Chain A
Amino acid sequence: DTGVSQDPRHKITKRGQNVTFRCDPISEHNRLYWYRQTLGQGPEFLTYFQNEAQLEKSRLLSDRFSAERPKGSFSTLEIQRTEQGDSAMYLCASSLPVSTDTQYFGPGTRLTVL
């Protein structure tokens, strides 16, 4: 397994459009996390799944954001009616279902909203 993959790597969209990102975790990892990183900041937690169950959502995740992991494998993060403030790097990470296990990060999807 080559690690966590994310698609696309870059996305440019106009304000008001919807976008969807995909994350494929390491195959044996039950947990999948989404983070957002803006310029000059560290990653901020958005939400995470254990298998297909979404266990926690940050207050940062507004109603325009929705994440799914329907079969407990890959996950999608959708942003509806994008705003310029949504421009950021969206990071996905995966781990085994143990809180002490290392989270392995993907390369990220860089979103630019014009």
Chain B
Amino acid sequence: AQSVTQLDSQVPVFEEAPVELRCNYSSSVSVYLFWYVQYPNQGLQLLLKYLSGSTLVKSINGFEAEFNKSQTSFHLRKPSVHISDTAEYFCAVSDRGDDKIIFGKGTRLHILP
């Protein structure tokens, strides 16, 4: 069965520093990959997704993630974080042809002033 591993439960980073949130999934079959974000006291919302085509996908607020099939990874990066990026980030995967999404445990991003 498909599973998602987010090794870091919390990541502290100084404001304006770069950040990488790691995500690995278990199966190498054809997949769709997602990053969802949950800001404090808000619901889950999609940050970006990989369906096909270019392995580098970007969000409107400066995050990007790269699909690496050989390493079964989909790490999330941002070159310079802001205090407004404080949130919990969930990596998720869906097997092609399957409609449910499997989520990781989440990584809490703490932005230090």
Task: Give residues in A with beta carbon < 8 Å to B.
Answer: 4, 31, 33, 35, 40-45, 48, 55-56, 58, 91, 93, 99-100, 102-108
Give the 3 A-B CB pairs with smallest separation, nearest first.
Answer: A42-B103, A105-B44, A45-B100
13 contacting pairs across A/B (C-beta < 8 A): A4-B43, A33-B100, A41-B105, A42-B4, A44-B103, A45-B100, A48-B99, A99-B32, A99-B96, A99-B99, A103-B46, A103-B101, A104-B45
Say whether B100 contacts A42, CB under 8 Å: no
Most buried by A among B36, B44, B45, B92: B44
Asked whether A40 and B105 contact (CB < 8 A) given A100-B32, A102-B46, A105-B44, the answer is yes
Per a CB cutoff under 8 Å, which of A45, A93, A106 touches B102?
A45
Say whether A107 contacts B43, CB under 8 Å: yes
> In residues 53-82 of chain B, which contact A (Cβ within 8 Å)?
none
In the complex, residue of chain A having the shortest beta-carbon distance to the beta carbon of B38: A105
Say whether A43 contacts B100, CB under 8 Å: no
Most buried by B among A31, A45, A56, A91: A45
Chain B nearest CB from A4 CB (Å) reads: 8
Asked whether A56 and B100 contact (CB < 8 A) given A43-B90, A102-B49, the answer is yes
A48 — which chain B residues lie within 8 A by C-beta?
99-100
A100 — which chain B residues lie within 8 A by C-beta?
32, 51
B97 within 8 A of A: yes
